[in-house]
Chains A and B, each alone.
Chain A
Amino acid sequence: MATDNFEAVAASAGGSVASFEPENVSLGERTQRFLHNYPTAAPAFVLLMAVAFFYAIIGGKFLDPFNLSLVFQQVTIIGMIGVAQTLVILTAGIDLSVGAIMVLCSVVMGRTAITLGLPAELALMLGLLAGAVCGAINGFLITRLRLPPFITTLGTWSIFFALNLWYSESETIRSQDIAAQAPLLQFMGISFEFLGARFTTGTLSLLALFAGMWYALNHTPWGRHVYATGDDPQAAQLAGINTEKVLLSVYIVAGVICAFAAWTLIGRIGSVSPQAGQSANLDSITAVVIGGTSLFGGRGAIVGTLIGALVVGVFRNGLALAGVDVLWQEFSIGLLIIVAVAVDQWIRRA
Chain B
Amino acid sequence: MNAVTKLEPILKGRNMVKRYGRVTALDHSDFDLYPGEVLAVIGDNGAGKSSLIKALTGAAPPDIGDVYLAGALVNFKNPMEGRLAGIETVYQNLAVSPSLNIADNLFLGRELLKPGFLGKWLRMLDHQKMEQIARDKLSELGLLTIQSINQAVETLSGGQRQAVAVARAAAFGSKVVIMDEPTAALGVKESRRVLDLIKDVRNRGMPVVLISHNMPHVWEVADRIHVHRLGKRHAVIKPSTHTMSEGVAIMTGAMDPNDHPAGAYALPAGAM
On whether the beta carbons of A220 and B99 are closer than 8 Å, the reply is no
A residues 215-235 near B (Cβ < 8 Å) are 215, 219-222, 224-225, 227-228, 231-232, 234-235
**B269 in contact (CB, < 8 A):** no
A10 within 8 Å of B (CB atoms): yes
| Inter-chain contact B157/A17, CB cutoff 8 Å | yes
Q: Report whether A240 and B109 are in contact in the complex, using a CB–CB cutoff of 8 Å.
A: yes
Task: Evaluate contact between A18 and B95: CB separation under 8 angstroms.
Answer: no
Tell me, in angstroms, the Cα distance from A3 to B219 when the chains sit together. 7
Contact bitstring B181-217, A, C-beta under 8 A = 1, else 0? 0000001111011000000000000000000000010
Q: Are B245 and A7 in contact (CB under 8 A)?
A: no
Given contacts A1-B243, A228-B108, contact A239 B97 (CB under 8 A): yes
Instruction: Judge whether A227 and B125 touch: CB under 8 Å.
Output: no
Given contacts A16-B145, A227-B100, contact A3 B111 (CB under 8 A): no
Contact A240 B83 (CB under 8 A): yes
What is the CA–CA distance of A240 and B169 in the complex, to the nearest angstrom?
Answer: 13
**Residue of B with least CB distance to A241:** B109
Q: Digit string of B74-110 for contact with A (CB within 8 Å is 1, else 0)?
A: 0000011001000001010111111110001100111
Inter-subunit contact B97/A3 (CB<8 Å): no
- Given the interface contacts A11-B192, A18-B158, A221-B123, does A231 sit within 8 Å of B99 by beta carbon? yes
The answer on a CB contact under 8 Å between B189 and A235 is: no
CA A8 to CA B123, docked complex, whole Å: 50
A222-B109 Cα distance, complex, nearest whole Å = 9
Q: What per-residue 1/0 map shows which CB atoms of A235-256 lie under 8 Å from chain B?
A: 1101111000000000000000
Is residue B240 contacting chain A, with contact meaning CB distance below 8 A?
yes
A227 to B109 alpha-carbon distance, docked (Å): 12
B216 surroundings in chain A (CB, below 8 A): 3-4, 6
- Set of chain B residues within 8 Å of A1, measured between Cβ atoms: 219, 239-240, 243
Candidate in A10, A19, A234, A238 with the most chain B CB atoms within 10 angstroms = A238
Is A274 engaged at the interface, CB distance under 8 Å to the other chain? no
CB <8 Å contact, B125 and A221 = yes
Residue B61 is within 8 A (CB to CB) of chain A in the complex: no
Chain A nearest CB, measured from B199 CB (Å): 14
Question: Which A residues touch B89, using CB under 8 A?
Answer: 238
Question: Known interface pairs A2-B245, A236-B108. Does A221 touch B97 (Cβ–Cβ under 8 Å)?
Answer: no
Contact B97 A220 (CB under 8 A): no
How distant is the Cα of A85 from the Cα of B243 in the complex, in angstroms?
60
Chain A, Cβ-Cβ closest to B163: A17
Q: Find out whether the CB atom of A10 lies under 8 angstroms from the CB atom of B188.
A: yes
> Taking A219-B124, A241-B108 as contacts, is the C-beta distance between A299 and B80 under 8 angstroms?
no
Q: Is the CB of B189 within 8 A of A231?
A: no
Number of interface residues of B (CB under 8 A): 45
Residues of the A chain whose Cβ atoms lie less than 8 Å from the Cβ of B149: none
The residue in chain A whose Cβ has the minimal distance to the Cβ of B107 is A224
Query: Chain B residues near A10 (CB, 8 Å)?
Result: 188-189, 192
Question: Counting CB contacts under 8 A, is B10 at the interface?
Answer: no
Asked whether any CB of chain B lies closer than 8 Å to the CB of A110, the reply is: no
With an 8 A cutoff between CB atoms, is B60 at the interface?
A: no
Known: A221-B125, A224-B104, A241-B108. A7 touches B192 (CB 8 A): yes
Which one, B94, B99, B157, B190, contacts A299 given CB within 8 A?
B99
Inter-subunit contact A227/B99 (CB<8 Å): yes
A37 to B147, CA, bound (A): 15
- Pick the contact of B244: A2, A221, A225 (CB < 8 A): A2
Q: Is B43 an interface residue (CB 8 A)?
A: no
**Contact (Cβ within 8 A) B100 A228:** yes
Q: Which partner residue on chain A sits nearest B111 by CB separation?
A: A221
Answer yes or no: B113 CB below 8 A from chain A CBs. Answer: yes
Interface pair A224/B96, CB less than 8 Å apart: no
Which residues in chain A, 107-152, are within 8 Å of chain B measured between CB atoms? none
Cβ of A16: which chain B residues have Cβ within 8 Å of it?
145
Q: Specify the chain B residue showing the minimal Cβ separation from A14.
A: B189
Residues of A within 8 A of B122 (CB): 215, 220
Query: Which A-chain residue is minimally distant from B151 (CB atoms)?
Result: A37
User: In A265-305, which residues have CB < 8 Å from any B CB?
Assistant: 298-299
Residues from chain A with Cβ under 8 Å of B96 in the complex: 232, 235
Q: Does B259 contact A (CB under 8 A)?
A: no
The answer to whether B100 and A238 have CB atoms under 8 Å apart is: no
Residue B160, interface by CB 8 Å: yes
Closest to B188 in A: A10
Which residues of chain A are near B243, meaning CB under 8 Å?
A: 1-2
Quote the shortest CB–CB distance from A89 to chain B (angstroms).
14
Closest CB pairs A-B (n = 4): A240-B109, A238-B95, A221-B111, A239-B108
Given contact pairs A234-B93, A299-B99, a sample of 9 additional A-B residue pairs in the complex whose CB atoms are under 8 Å apart = A2-B219, A3-B216, A10-B192, A11-B189, A220-B123, A225-B108, A235-B95, A240-B109, A298-B98
Q: Which residues of A contact B (CB under 8 A)?
A: 1-4, 6-7, 10-11, 13, 16-19, 37, 215, 219-222, 224-225, 227-228, 231-232, 234-236, 238-241, 298-299
Can you offer 9 A-B residue contacts whose CB atoms are under 8 A?
Answer: A1-B240, A11-B192, A17-B159, A18-B190, A221-B113, A235-B94, A239-B105, A240-B83, A241-B108
B residues whose Cβ falls under 8 Å from a Cβ of A: 79-80, 83, 89, 91, 93-100, 104-105, 108-111, 113, 122-125, 127, 145, 152, 157-160, 187-190, 192-193, 216, 219-220, 239-240, 243-245
